[in-house]
Amino acid sequence: MHDARALIDMGAEAVRRLARRGYALDLAALEDLQSRRNRSIQSADELRVESKRVAGEVQRTAKQGGDITGLKERARELKEEIREIEAGQEEIQEQLRDLLLSIPNLPADEAPDGDSDADAVEVRRVGEPPVFAFEPKDHVDLGEATGILDFARATKLSGPRFAVARGAGAALERALAALFLDLHTRRHGYVEHAVPYLVTRRTMTGTGQLPKFEEDLFRTGVADRELFLIPTAEVPLTNLYADEIIPPAELPLALTAHTPCFRSEAGSYGRDTRGLIRQHQFSKVEMVRIVDPAEADAELERMVGHAEACLKELGLPYRVVTLAAGDTGFSAQLTYDIEVWLPSQDTYREISSVSHFGTFQARRANIRTRDENGKPKPVATLNGSGLPIGRTLAALLEHCQQEDGSLVLPEALAPYAGFRRIAADGTPEA
């Protein structure tokens, strides 16, 4: 969430920057609400001063034996006026908050112009796409042929966009999560967390999923208690520190968790309906960093490296791109996408997004630290996928396939899986 005064002071610059991401800022409406709020606060403060003066006059007059009837009536009138102004002030404040909650983050200057994948700017490529001596299969055909993935029975259970992993497939999912968590906790310094998968509306608002993206979420309710299934561990991890002031000496905080993620994919009808690429339920290892704003740019580059390390361990070729301003997520000011090579599609596909939110989420969730004078100030937040298990498994199967239908795993994964090879019939082999 933005600071209203800061947006107003930026004026045309704020309008220009938000227009880069396709958002038309109504600066006049923002200025009007802020002005009305300030006038309301000033009026209430003046009336409180007058009310205090009249109360003192009542006491003095009563002690002197004078008539206080008129003064008491004036005191009553002032209380009523203050009550009315405060009610109006709450309404104005709610309108201002609703407007501020609807305004996306300002895109960074480093984000290129544009609003689609095609406008992303490539930063680097690592590794070479494989050349097969045979016609490679996609991960769906490989998973079904070996019996380690079952999409038909998943659809029977839950409908489309679900998958069942069995045998060596389930073991691979578990192995990937363990490998990634070990990388982040032992090599990169993150602290692993086990977090709730159901969170409140306020928690979802803190990281920016609400109010804008409610149709993308799964909501549940028992009696009068409303909860949302998390779309990513970013939500509970970041909000762990909502309404807290973190001592500067404790920054940066590095948090990670492996959780299921639930997304309705409301805006993705007809896209990636086959396989593991776009599911209603999937699991992911998430990274979150909470830092001093002055360190956030460097922390972003560090976090991108942490996500890349996962792909390097598996020997999967990938590229890093900077997303265009109009394609950057609502809460982010700058996002790097890491795209893994998918042989069956002969292209790079997103496997991780690593984002810099500045103080945007911190203002919404009220996460603060202290400046050099001890005054509270918002922190900066960053997060990234490190990595999603389903998409990683899809890429892994396609890269590891052999002409005889078997799969040979990367050396780094074998100790976690307990096997190095999956035979064409799905049998794991050392």
pLDDT over 70 (residue 267): no
pLDDT over 80 (residue 376): yes
Tell whether the torsion through CA atoms of 151, 155, 161 and 163 is positive or negative: negative
My answer on whether 42 and 143 are in the same domain is no
Out of 102, 135, 165, pick the residue that ends a domain: 102
pLDDT over 90 (residue 65): no
- Mean pLDDT calculated for residue range 165-189: 98
Out of 102, 125, 149, pick the residue that ends a domain: 102
Q: Which domain holds residue 302?
A: 117-429
Q: Which CATH number goes with the domain that contains 288?
A: 3.30.930.10
pLDDT over 70 (residue 268): no
Q: Is residue 134 in some structural domain?
A: yes
My answer on whether 278 and 416 are in the same domain is yes
My answer on whether 94 and 121 are in the same domain is no
Average predicted confidence (pLDDT) for the chain: 95
Q: Which is the catalytic residue, given 353, 355, 385, 406?
A: 353
Read off φ and ψ for residue 91, nearest 5 degrees: -65, -45
Q: Is 360 left (phi over 0), alpha (psi -120 to 50) or beta?
A: alpha
The confidence score (pLDDT) of residue 321 equals 99
- Mean pLDDT calculated for residue range 132-155: 96
Q: Which CATH number goes with the domain that contains 32?
A: 1.10.287.40
Query: Strand, helix or coil at 339?
Result: strand
Out of 102, 131, 147, pick the residue that ends a domain: 102
Q: Is residue 226 in some structural domain?
A: yes
My answer on whether 139 and 195 are in the same domain is yes
Confidence of residue 271 (pLDDT cuts 50, 70, 90): low
My answer on whether 95 and 215 are in the same domain is no
pLDDT over 90 (residue 68): no
Q: Is residue 365 in some structural domain?
A: yes
Confidence of residue 221 (pLDDT cuts 50, 70, 90): confident
Q: Is residue 61 in some structural domain?
A: yes
- Mean pLDDT calculated for residue range 31-49: 94
Q: Is 278 a catalytic residue?
A: yes
Q: Is 13 a catalytic residue?
A: no
My answer on whether 98 and 191 are in the same domain is no
Share of the chain above pLDDT 70, in %: 99
pLDDT over 80 (residue 225): yes
Q: Is residue 109 in some structural domain?
A: no
My answer on whether 41 and 134 are in the same domain is no
My answer on whether 268 and 352 are in the same domain is yes
**Alpha carbon distance 42, 23 (integer Å):** 32
Q: Is residue 192 in some structural domain?
A: yes
My answer on whether 260 and 305 are in the same domain is yes
My answer on whether 169 and 25 are in the same domain is no
Q: Which is the catalytic residue, given 302, 391, 398, 406?
A: 391
Q: Using omega within 30 degrees of 0 as the cis cutoff, is the peptide bond preceding 387 cis?
A: yes
Lowest mean pLDDT among 24-28, 74-78, 235-239, 320-324: 74-78
Q: Is 125 a catalytic residue?
A: no
Strand order in the sheet with 121-126: 121-126, 318-322, 334-342, 347-356, 380-388, 281-291, 253-262, 191-192
The confidence score (pLDDT) of residue 296 equals 98
My answer on whether 219 and 169 are in the same domain is yes
- Mean pLDDT calculated for residue range 60-84: 90
Q: Which is the catalytic residue, given 74, 166, 278, 319?
A: 278
My answer on whether 46 and 165 are in the same domain is no
Alpha helices in 258-357 (DSSP H): 296-314
Q: Is residue 111 in some structural domain?
A: no
The number of domains in the chain is 2
pLDDT tens profile 387-410: 999 999 999 999 999 999 999 999
Q: Which is the catalytic residue, given 81, 86, 313, 350?
A: 350
Q: Which is the catalytic residue, given 21, 263, 289, 368?
A: 263
**Alpha carbon distance 411, 423 (integer Å):** 16
Q: Is residue 297 in some structural domain?
A: yes
Read off φ and ψ for residue 368, nearest 5 degrees: -135, 165
Q: Is 271 a catalytic residue?
A: no
- Token pair recorded at residue 384: 């990234």
Q: Is 158 a catalytic residue?
A: no
pLDDT over 80 (residue 89): yes
